[in-house]
Chains A and B, each alone.
Chain A
Amino acid sequence: MIRNYIKIAWRNLLKNKTFSFINIFGLSVGLATCLLLTLYIMDETSYDSHHKDADRVYRIVMESAGEQLATSSAPMAETLKNEFPEIAMTTRLLKFPNVDKYLLKNNQKNTKFYETNGYYVDSTFFKILTYDFKYGDASALNGPNKVVLSEKVAYKLFGDKNPLNEIIDIEIPYGTAKYTVTGVFRDNKYKSHIAANLLLSMKNTDIGEWVDAQEGLLGNNLFHSYIKLKKGTSIASVEDKLPEFVDRHIGDQLREIGFERHYFMQPLSDIYLKSDMMWEISANGSMTYIYIFSAIAAFLLLIACINFMNLSTARSQKRAKEVGMRKVLGAKKEVLVFQFLGESLIICLIALAIALILVILSLPLFNAITNKDLLLFHHPGITIFIAGLALLTGLISGLYPAFYLSSFKPITVLKGTLVNSISAKTIRKGLVVFQFAISASLILVAGVIWKQMDYLKNKDLGFKKEQQLLIPYRSSTAAENYIAFKSEILKNPNVISATAGDSYPGLEVTSDNSFYGEGKTIEDNVYTRYGMVKDDYLETLEYELLSGRTFSKNSNKDSLSIILNEMAVLQLGYKTDNAVGRKIYYEWNNEKYDLEIIGVIKDFNFKSLHEPVTPYGLRSLGQNQPNYFIATLREGGGKNTMVEIEKTWKYINPDTPFEYSFLDQNFDNHYRGEQQTSNVIFCFMFIAIFIACIGLFGLALFTTEQRRKEVGIRRVLGASIMSITTMQLKDFLKLVLIAMVIASPLAYYTGNRWLQNFAYQVDVGWQLFVSAALVALFIAFVTVGFQVIKAAIANPVTSLRTE
């Protein structure tokens, strides 16, 4: 019996090549995209699931002065452990501010290179967080000046040999120190929110002294602190006692500076997908995107399944005789349902095989778009998932046709009087509308994203981000040479202006304070962040000075001056035209200090457009060392400019490698997550439209075939080709229009939800909906037009004869 089914399924496939192709190809593409997205989702949700006792590990985070911080102060973890019996162990990770690269040197092999993602951690780090050690073990960082490397970095430094107990030099702008390699971990096995390349002992001879000097729970919240609970204790009991703990230790200080602060315990497994705070170790994933991608995966597969359902039921007449005859010969309905379900499963299996090939072929591209390193069979669960997916797809696409086909009455079908019933036609139309509503929603959402991305890239931020060269100071000797390098580089006609600062727009601002204006108290403080800059900073970045002056060339003169933005001035109780010359105050250890406002600049976006403008200021670095050199290059200056600048750098700073980037590129990195997602959405939007279109094509092929006789009769009676074409086109286009109407509010809602991620949003506008409708209509027209016109211009005599 089964053989008979397989045989008939196979022969049906071969006999109707166009429909088989549409079905199998549509399902293959649907399954392939579904698999790709599943790989992505599986990867994203696998973060930090490997840690032993992960459910007992929490990160101490806080909400302070309206900001969420992923960090806390140096003694926080230890103090908590001393007071809370529930806590078994704690560890800390320090991402040292303004050190984003480490110069690693293996003097024996004379290798040196920069490496990112280096973190200082406590010796207990590996006892709380699980790493897959290739060499060494969890006790690797017991003792000062030890370093654990990722396999990749170890290979770059030492090649294949076991590097344990080798000594390397690690240089940061604050000096160079010797570290002993005590461990190597495999970096691609486990995914973690800590994507480390090197983990260094917190006890060390370069920044160790600074770490040890950190006292008090209030300030310098730079440490990622993790706690591990004892077995059988609950986090709730710790959280319950936290407010009292905070009040007892720093309550007075907080009230003094006018801050409100709450601490929270964040589960380790929540960090990667659910945490987006200030000072995250690196950019995290997002649950929103998991939802978006899951929805797209499900929708794509559904669209492909609907093609299958529609084509199977539309073509049911071709199978009706078979159904009737089988019933006459004694087949029960259940047996037929089983047969047709089996057929759709067979088709799904063929589609799955093709889908797997498609996935393997497209994985490199998908990895490039999503910035991942996904492998098809990396995750152990994937095989079961694939099998389940094929089964599910077979069932979804096969159930309705199976019941529809097997419910035919033998008499009707054998007499040949079966017409596609009205209800079946309605369901089919409904399904087409549903498909196109999904496609149209994707077109619309993609449109919203595209508009917003365009807006982000082109919005006037209040400073000039184009043609701005950034050179990081990786060593203090180079920073000391600031003036020499600046005067030398300005001799180059292609360099317009140059300056330096502790940061640049777009970078997280490390300096902040609570200021209050004249005649006010600390109660009225305004939380203000500020950058520390050298002279010519405002001129180089082209900030608009509304009143007052910029910093003077005499670096000592402005040590007690501040330039504020409009927002800060306003909140401090001044106006743009009367603020210059006025004082602002702050307090530290019960002492009151003041600064003089020397200028007011127009509000600008010092961070990404995800966030609104807040009070901001600029202060003079004085004699202090900057972290970044910034220069404006002349547009069209050519490649030579960079070569010459590098030459100048090497002449003045022979020991510090030359590295650079451009401000606009760095700024665009803020939107990399969005860019990546929009790339993925764009890709899958095209795929969705494509699958829906081949389905529509198949349906058009079928309907026109079915209406051949009708068209023939109409032609004989004198209908023009034009009127017949429009008559048939109207039917299809109507469905697409209904789909647009359904999709619009859906897409409007989704698009707006996504836009909430940004403080500055583009207006969605009706034009988008109209253009999306036109695009959808055009696509549908192109898809069905050919078939319809072909049917209309066919010789009516042939159409009638073949009936």
Chain B
Amino acid sequence: MIQIENLKKSFKTEEVETLALNNVNLKVEEGEFVAIMGPSGCGKSTLLNIIGMLDNPNEGYYHFDGQEVGGLKENQRTKIRKGNLGFVFQSFNLIDELTVFENVELPLIYLNMKKSEREQKVRAVLERMKIAHREKHFPQQLSGGQQQRVAIARAVVTNAKLILADEPTGNLDSKNGIEVMNLLTELNQEGTTIVMVTHSDRDSHYAHRVINLFDGQIVTESQNKPFEIGV
């Protein structure tokens, strides 16, 4: 699903140029659950942003589903992102002015889905995330764990093929953290590809494969459990 070759990304400020990613090669199969680990500032989030098509690399290739997407313009990237990709953030990034229901509904609106269909889908996913009873509440009225469940609901409501999670348990206590990881595992078992950035060893054990990044380069790769194509 994801094939990255010789990827480079640097950030320039007025005085210094920082190389965030250096010659990264990575392949992620459909249905795989990959965890990316490494110390702060090693380039984890940058890599995730490029995979998520929120950012472009400076050099190298990025094939998504067989299509080169590394050099696409913002609007073209948006088009591919819609419906294919779901995001889960450490800080949830729910829109404070929208209710739980409306937050989850938002990606469907951008897919120009009919209202009745939207309602049905949102209800179903909220049921599944066990958050349906709070659908009329605003994000601030929920606990952290609940907010992250809403965020996951929002990521999967479009039946996204790929979920990108950036430290999804970073702001949660362990009980809520485990709950969120179980949810992600469940989604993965149903076929959703997941790429997750994490600091937590515990969380990394949920993945099939762990990639360790250091100073912008992949230093080690380890297989946690077997992954077979088509499982």
Contacts and interface: CB of A to CB of B under 8 A. Distances in A.
A322 B83 contact: no
B95 A328 contact: no
A411 interface: yes
Contact of A416 (B81, B91, B107, B110): B91
Contact of B95 (A325, A330, A332, A416): A325
Contacts of A330: 78-79, 81-83, 107, 110-111
A376 B46 CA distance: 60
Given A410-B54, A414-B93, A416-B91, A4 B75 contact: no
Nearest to B106: A329
B102 interface: yes
State the majority secondary structure of interface residues on A: helix
B78 A15 contact: no
A324 interface: yes
B78 A331 contact: yes
B225 to A, nearest CB: 30
A123 B76 CA distance: 78
B19 interface: no
Contacts of B105: 4
Interface in B20-67: 45, 49, 52, 54-55
A484 interface: no
Interface in B78-111: 78-79, 81-83, 87, 89, 91, 93-98, 102, 105-107, 109-111
A12 interface: yes
Contacts of B5: none
B74 interface: yes
A414 B110 contact: no
A333 B97 contact: no
Contacts of B96: 15, 321-322
A326 interface: yes
Nearest to B138: A11
A7 to B, nearest CB: 7
Nearest to B109: A1
A324 B79 CA distance: 15
A496 interface: no
A411 B55 contact: yes
B95 A321 contact: yes
A321 B93 contact: yes
Nearest to B46: A411
Interface residues of B, number: 29
A328 B84 CA distance: 11
Nearest to A326: B106
Contacts of B98: 4, 7-8, 11
Contact of B97 (A1, A11, A415, A416): A11
Contacts of A415: 45
A8 B109 CA distance: 14
A677 to B, nearest CB: 47
A8 B91 contact: no
Contacts of A12: 97
Nearest to B48: A411
Nearest to A322: B95
A332 B112 CA distance: 13
B48 to A, nearest CB: 10
Contacts of A15: 96-97
A329 B154 CA distance: 9
Tell which of B78, B79, B97 has the most Cβ of chain A within 10 Å: B97
Contacts of A331: 78, 110
Nearest to B52: A328
A414 to B, nearest CB: 6
A526 B149 CA distance: 99
A327 interface: yes
Contacts of A325: 93-95, 106
Interface in A10-33: 11-12, 15
Contact of A333 (B75, B91, B107): B75
A415 B44 CA distance: 13
A328 B81 contact: yes
A12 B95 CA distance: 11
A327 B81 CA distance: 10
Interface in A272-329: 321-322, 324-329
Nearest to A14: B97
Nearest to B83: A330
A333 to B, nearest CB: 7
Nearest to A8: B97
A4 B87 contact: no
Closest 3 CB pairs of A and B: A330-B82, A330-B110, A11-B97
9 contacts: A7-B98, A8-B95, A11-B97, A321-B93, A324-B93, A325-B93, A328-B54, A411-B54, A414-B91
Given A4-B102, A329-B82, A414-B89, 7 more contacts: A4-B105, A321-B96, A328-B54, A328-B93, A329-B110, A329-B154, A333-B75
